[in-house]
Amino acid sequence: MKELYTCELCGASLPTEQLYHFDGQELCAQCLDNHTLFCSYCGERIWESDNAGTTDTPLCQDCFDDHYVRCCRCGALVRETGAYYEESDEFDERPYCLDCFHTLSRDKPIHDYYYKPEPIFQGEGPRFFGVELELDQGGEDPDSARALLDIANAGYPLMYIKHDGSLDDGLELVTHPLSLEWQLHAMPWEELCRKALSLGYRSHRASTCGLHIHVSRTAFGNTQQEQDQAIARVLYFFEKHWEELLKFSRRTQRQLERWAARYGYKEHPMDILDFAKKGYHGGRYTCVNLQNPDTVEFRMFRGTLKTNTILATLELIDRICDAAVHLSDEELKGMAWTTFVSGCQQPELVQYLKERRLYVNEPV
């Protein structure tokens, strides 16, 4: 007859081969299943009572300490790399989950000028567009900001709002990085523009406002060399077609000299990029700002609360990026404006080009 041993938790008597050694104790299979579990990060078995995570994400204490935090507002378990912090939290002592961070943003709807949250990408990359739309004359009012945020972020966290000292009495709408498809069809521009107008804001009619569009640098190539070559062609396109883009932008030449200066035409695209990199120009106040490490910023366009104009501007930048990425220097240099616009098929862009008399002599 086999010698029996006792499970140290429930007292059941079992042969030794039916007991499991864990943490210095002999346990039956049922007690092992009921009172222990595996850390979801490192796979180590731990006592259920020592679970530092949650039922769905059990964690040993070491893995929790090294890789996780809890939201200081709701207590939810958050991966350390996915936690959000207020700008004023210098030492990252108050982590937030995404939901609570956006609730916090709603409680403080207008952030300071230097606020830069972790970007939330939506859509298929690598070409993402971030829009900065300046509004003026309606006040830097938290209630108005909340009303605009409620529209923009009803389904997804798409936008935040910042103070902008260049405005007389307004604010700046900033979208997270969105694919063109998301900017055109998921971002509620029509409703946002209508609401902003009803709140007393103006953009085109306020001489202080711009429409700036950021494009991710990775959209221009996988290597630094590829990116530089494509960005050089962007700069060349702006210089070669400056008069047409000036008309498209709705800016005056004087406004551009102050806020979005040109680099100056040169025969070869890389010569313009080299000139830009040497800093012989207006710093970030150039038509194409290259000073951001992750994006190229197109600053030439005047602010607007006409939805079609916003969408057309996004589509124009997308077309320019296509040309810069897919054409050679010689092909781009040989392309006339009429050739460029004749290939435009996007309805918002075509309509706007016709309105500005920039579309191959066709009537509006």
Is the overall model pTM greater than 0.75, yes or no?
A: no
Per-residue confidence at 213, pLDDT binned at 50, 70, 90? very high
Dihedral sign (CA 354, 207, 317, 236): positive
Pairing between strand 19-22 and 25-28?
antiparallel
82-86, 182-186, 269-273, 303-307: segment of lowest average pLDDT: 82-86
Q: Please, which residues have CB within 8 angstroms of residue 320's CB and are 6 or more apart in sequence?
A: 234, 237
Please state, in angstroms and rounded to a whole number, the distance separating the CA atoms of residues 39 and 71. Answer: 20
Pairing between strand 68-70 and 45-47?
unpaired
Q: What is the DSSP letter of 18?
A: G
Would you say 78 and 85 are in contact if contact means Cβ atoms under 8 Å apart? Answer: no
Boundaries of every domain in the chain: 4-60, 129-355
What's the pLDDT score for residue 28? 94
Residue 361 has pLDDT above 70, yes or no: no
Residue 323: C-alpha distances to residues 232, 235, 335 (Å): 12, 12, 10
pLDDT digits 0-9 by tens, 216-253: 999 999 999 999 999 999 999 999 999 999 999 999 88
Residue 360 has pLDDT above 60, yes or no: yes
Supply 218's token pair. 């990775």
Q: Please, which residues have CB within 8 angstroms of residue 297's CB and are 6 or more apart in sequence?
A: 212, 213, 214, 284, 288, 289, 290
| Average pLDDT taken over every residue of the chain | 92
> Coil, strand or helix: which one is 77?
strand
Would you say 84 and 70 are in contact if contact means Cβ atoms under 8 Å apart? Answer: no
What share of the chain in percent tops pLDDT 90? 77
Supply 191's token pair. 């409703």
What share of the chain in percent tops pLDDT 70? 96
Average pLDDT over residues 283-310: 94
Domain 129-355, second-level architecture: 2-Layer Sandwich (3.30)
| CA dihedral of 137, 143, 148, 151, whole degrees rounded to 10 | -160
The stretches of the chain forming alpha helices (DSSP H) are 29-35, 61-67, 98-107, 142-152, 180-185, 189-198, 224-240, 242-249, 253-259, 269-277, 307-326, 329-333, 337-342, 347-355
Please state, in angstroms and rounded to a whole number, the distance separating the CA atoms of residues 40 and 5. Answer: 31
Write down the number of H helices and E strands in the chain: 14, 15
Residue 125: C-alpha distances to residues 63, 87, 141, 316, 346 (Å): 32, 27, 35, 18, 19
What's the pLDDT score for residue 215? 99
| CA dihedral of 343, 349, 353, 356, whole degrees rounded to 10 | -170
Please state, in angstroms and rounded to a whole number, the distance separating the CA atoms of residues 113 and 144. Answer: 18
Residue 43 has pLDDT above 80, yes or no: yes
Average pLDDT over residues 153-165: 93
Which among 133, 128, 173 has a CA at the least distance from the CA of 149? 173
What's the pLDDT score for residue 364? 45
Per-residue confidence at 201, pLDDT binned at 50, 70, 90? very high
Residue 362 has pLDDT above 60, yes or no: no
Per-residue confidence at 82, pLDDT binned at 50, 70, 90? very high
Per-residue confidence at 104, pLDDT binned at 50, 70, 90? confident
